[in-house]
């Protein structure tokens, strides 16, 4: 009778959910392979390799003595700063513990059995996981790109409750043109379908090509059924602080507020995010170094006959031919202290590599070269 199985009445549709596989942490390498922490090169979770702004570090230290206090639950200052940055009203903003949490709010608000979401064939894994939490069906486009000619017929036919447009897309790295986003959004019935533009890497895409730059204020002005998501985790270098935001019309934001738990980000996270917004120069410097370094990844690929997807993000995905196995390559690197993301769980024989600092990239090229030969 001591058999260890869960006997509680777990919802049937939750049984098949797979646990999200996060990028492997540095601690794991230290524990299991005895690699010194300072020798680990972590290029698996799309964090900003330059770290974060010095202003953020100062703000965290300056607020450390307030760690026993709950944060200002209105998040007034952060919302005001974001409202100014994006040219929207404070009532058009909601803050989450990462934009991930805003994704979970919107899924809880809208999804239930009998409803569906639509995503591109290869996209951010959390969309599917949250849809499964609420028993919704998952519809995918045929290709891994967000093509209007694939999305529009599916929207008209299936009337999905949420359509995710991840631009630039994770883990492929490609971005959508604003005119294509508009075409897709216009094909949905505003009373049946919400479009979520996930702009987690928008800073990188906008710097690369203005045709990719989504203006959240313009979009929500035009469309009542649109939610824009942004995060401090990538270009702003705050992955460890967990701050993201959603921008939409007031009516949708107030509905999302019914689901938000109080104090959903921390006192230190609030201070950090506010300080990060004050240091645009840090972000600009990060984007500049990134633009130089990603060029080296393209050259490396070309030199070694590796196919890659042109990237508008802070990572690049290499695609291997049949002669190579992405899982083996990722493992070879991992055992040598270099962490990258194997894409085989997405059905792709390839790897996703976050573009690091010049020094981290040197090490990556060195070990990857070895792995390839
Ligand atoms: C990283 C990421 C997010 C959100 O990250 P948070 O740390 O939760 O803000 C959302 N969408 C995509 C596509 C991402 O890659």
Q: What are the tens digits of pLDDT across the range 152-196?
A: 999 999 999 999 999 999 999 999 999 999 999 999 999 999 999
List the one residue out of 119, 295, 97, 121 whose CA is nearest residue 197. Answer: 119
Does residue 21 carry a pLDDT above 80?
no
d(CA 225, CA 248): 8
Say yes or no: 219 and 311 in one domain: no
Of all atoms in ligand 1, which is nearest to the CA of residue 103? Answer: 10
Domain endpoint, select from 248, 279, 310: 279
User: How many CB atoms are located within 10 Å of the residue 294 CB?
Assistant: 22
Residue 276 or residue 31, greater confidence: 276
List the one residue out of 263, 233, 258, 259 whose CA is nearest residue 245. Answer: 233
Report yes or no on 3 lying in a domain: no
Report yes or no on 60 lying in a domain: yes
Phi-psi category of 337—alpha, beta or left, where left has phi over 0 and alpha has psi -120 to 50?
Answer: left
Ligand 1, pocket-test mutation among 45, 120, 124, most atoms within 8 A of CB: 124
List the one residue out of 278, 281, 282, 340 whose CA is nearest residue 315. Answer: 340
pLDDT of residue 15: 79
Average pLDDT over residues 144-151: 96
Say yes or no: 214 and 312 in one domain: no
CA 13 to chain centre: 25
Q: What is the pLDDT of residues 199-227, one digit of tens each?
A: 999 999 999 999 999 999 999 999 999 99
Token digits of residue 94: 């909601």
Please check whether residue 155 is in contact with residue 110, taking contact to mean a CB–CB distance below 8 angstroms: no
Average pLDDT over residues 335-360: 95
Please check whether residue 97 is in contact with residue 265, taking contact to mean a CB–CB distance below 8 angstroms: yes
Q: Measuring from atom 12 of ligand 1, which residue has the nearest CA?
A: 200
Say yes or no: 27 and 94 in one domain: no
Report yes or no on 2 lying in a domain: no
Q: How does residue 2 score in pLDDT terms, banded at 50, 70 and 90?
A: low
Say yes or no: 60 and 199 in one domain: yes
Cα-to-centroid distance, 21 and ligand 1 (Å)? 14
Cα-to-centroid distance, 7 and ligand 1 (Å)? 34
Say yes or no: 84 and 218 in one domain: yes
Cα-to-centroid distance, 330 and ligand 1 (Å)? 22
Query: Taking the CA of residue 271 as centre, how many other CA atoms within 13 Å lie in the half-sphere pointing to its CB?
Result: 20
Q: How does residue 295 score in pLDDT terms, banded at 50, 70 and 90?
A: very high
Say yes or no: 263 and 328 in one domain: no
Q: How does residue 23 score in pLDDT terms, banded at 50, 70 and 90?
A: low
Q: Could you give the angle at which helices 358-372 and 280-303 cross, rounded to 10 degrees? A: 20
Say yes or no: 293 and 181 in one domain: no
Report yes or no on 5 lying in a domain: no
Report yes or no on 331 lying in a domain: yes
d(CA 122, CA 322): 20
Cα-to-centroid distance, 124 and ligand 1 (Å)? 8
**Ligand 1 environment, Cβ below 6 A:** 46, 98-100, 124, 166, 170, 198, 200, 231, 233-234, 239, 244
Helix and strand element counts for the chain (H, E)? 14, 13
Domain endpoint, select from 256, 279, 302: 279
Of all atoms in ligand 1, which is nearest to the CA of residue 166? Answer: 13
Cα distances (Å, whole numbers) of residue 113 to 16, 19, 21, 108, 121: 15, 20, 25, 12, 21
CB within 8 Å of 208: residues ≥ 6 apart:
175, 291, 312
With pLDDT > 90 as the criterion, what percentage of the chain qualifies? 88
CATH number at residue 28: 3.90.1150.10
d(CA 293, CA 82): 29
Q: How does residue 280 score in pLDDT terms, banded at 50, 70 and 90?
A: very high
Cα distances (Å, whole numbers) of residue 182 to 116, 151, 160, 179: 21, 12, 17, 5
Does residue 1 carry a pLDDT above 60?
no
Report yes or no on 334 lying in a domain: yes
Residues in a beta bridge with 245: 95, 230
Q: Measuring from atom 14 of ligand 1, which residue has the nearest CA?
A: 200
DSSP result, 77-142? HHHHHHHHHHT--GGGEEEESSHHHHHHHHHHHH--TT-EEEE-SS--HHHHHHHHHTT-EEEE-S
Our count of domains for the chain comes to 2
CATH number at residue 260: 3.40.640.10
Report yes or no on 32 lying in a domain: yes
Residue in the structure block whose two tokens are 């300072």: 38
Q: pTM of the predicted model, to two decimals?
A: 0.95
Q: Measuring from atom 6 of ligand 1, which residue has the nearest CA?
A: 98
d(CA 27, CA 33): 10
Q: Measuring from atom 10 of ligand 1, which residue has the nearest CA?
A: 200
Cα-to-centroid distance, 200 and ligand 1 (Å)? 5
Average pLDDT over residues 266-293: 97
Say yes or no: 24 and 172 in one domain: no
Residue in the structure block whose two tokens are 């050259």: 299
Q: What is the mean pLDDT of the chain?
A: 95
Ligand 1, pocket-test mutation among 44, 231, 246, most atoms within 8 A of CB: 231
Say yes or no: 164 and 304 in one domain: no
Domain endpoint, select from 239, 262, 279: 279
Residues in a beta bridge with 229: 198, 246
User: How many CB atoms are located within 10 Å of the residue 299 CB?
Assistant: 11
Say yes or no: 274 and 332 in one domain: no
Cα-to-centroid distance, 125 and ligand 1 (Å)? 10
Say yes or no: 202 and 290 in one domain: no
Does residue 16 carry a pLDDT above 80?
no
Q: What is the pLDDT of residues 32-89, one digit of tens each?
A: 888 888 889 999 999 999 999 999 999 999 999 999 999 999 999 999 999 999 999 9
CB within 8 Å of 122: residues ≥ 6 apart:
144, 169, 171, 172, 346, 347, 348
pLDDT of residue 28: 81
Say yes or no: 168 and 233 in one domain: yes
| Residues spanned by the domain of 104 | 54-279
Report yes or no on 238 lying in a domain: yes
Of all atoms in ligand 1, which is nearest to the CA of residue 239? Answer: 7
Q: Roughly how many angstroms between the first and final C-alpha of the chain, as a whole number?
A: 54
């Amino acid at each position: 009778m001591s058999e260890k199985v869960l006997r509680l009445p777990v919802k049937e549709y939750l049984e098949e959910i797979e646990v999200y596989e996060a990028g492997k942490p540095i601690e794991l390498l230290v524990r299991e392979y005895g690699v010194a922490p300072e020798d680990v090169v972590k290029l698996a979770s799309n964090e900003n390799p330059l770290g974060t702004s010095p202003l953020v570090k100062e703000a965290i230290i300056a607020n450390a003595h307030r760690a026993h206090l709950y944060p200002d639950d209105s998040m007034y200052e952060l919302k005001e700063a974001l409202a100014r940055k994006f040219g929207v009203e404070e009532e058009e903003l909601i803050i989450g513990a990462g934009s991930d949490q805003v994704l979970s709010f919107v899924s809880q608000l809208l999804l239930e059995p009998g409803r569906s979401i639509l995503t591109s064939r290869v996209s951010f894994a959390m969309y599917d996981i949250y849809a499964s939490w609420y028993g919704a069906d998952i519809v995918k486009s045929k290709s891994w790109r967000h093509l209007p000619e694939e999305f529009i017929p599916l929207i008209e036919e299936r009337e999905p409750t949420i359509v995710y447009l991840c631009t630039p897309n994770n883990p492929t790295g490609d971005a959508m043109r604003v005119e294509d986003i508009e075409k897709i959004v216009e094909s949905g019935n505003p009373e049946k379908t919400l479009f979520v533009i996930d702009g987690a890497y928008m800073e990188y895409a906008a710097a690369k090509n203005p045709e990719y730059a989504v203006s959240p204020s313009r979009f929500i002005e035009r469309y009542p059924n649109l939610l824009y998501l942004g995060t401090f985790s990538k270009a702003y270098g705050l992955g460890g602080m967990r701050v993201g935001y959603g921008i939409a019309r007031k009516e949708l934001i107030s509905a999302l507020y019914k689901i938000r738990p109080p104090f959903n980000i921390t006192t230190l996270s609030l201070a950090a995010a506010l300080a990060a917004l004050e240091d645009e120069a840090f972000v600009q410097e990060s984007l500049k170094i990134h633009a130089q370094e990603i060029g080296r990844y393209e050259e490396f690929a070309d030199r070694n006959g590796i196919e890659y997807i042109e990237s508008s993000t802070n990572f690049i995905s290499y695609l291997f031919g049949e002669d190579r196995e992405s899982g083996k390559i990722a493992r070879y690197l991992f055992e040598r202290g270099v962490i990258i993301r194997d894409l085989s769980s997405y059905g792709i024989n390839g790897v996703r590599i976050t573009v690091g600092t010049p020094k981290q990239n040197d090490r990556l090229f060195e070990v990857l070269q070895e792995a390839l030969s």
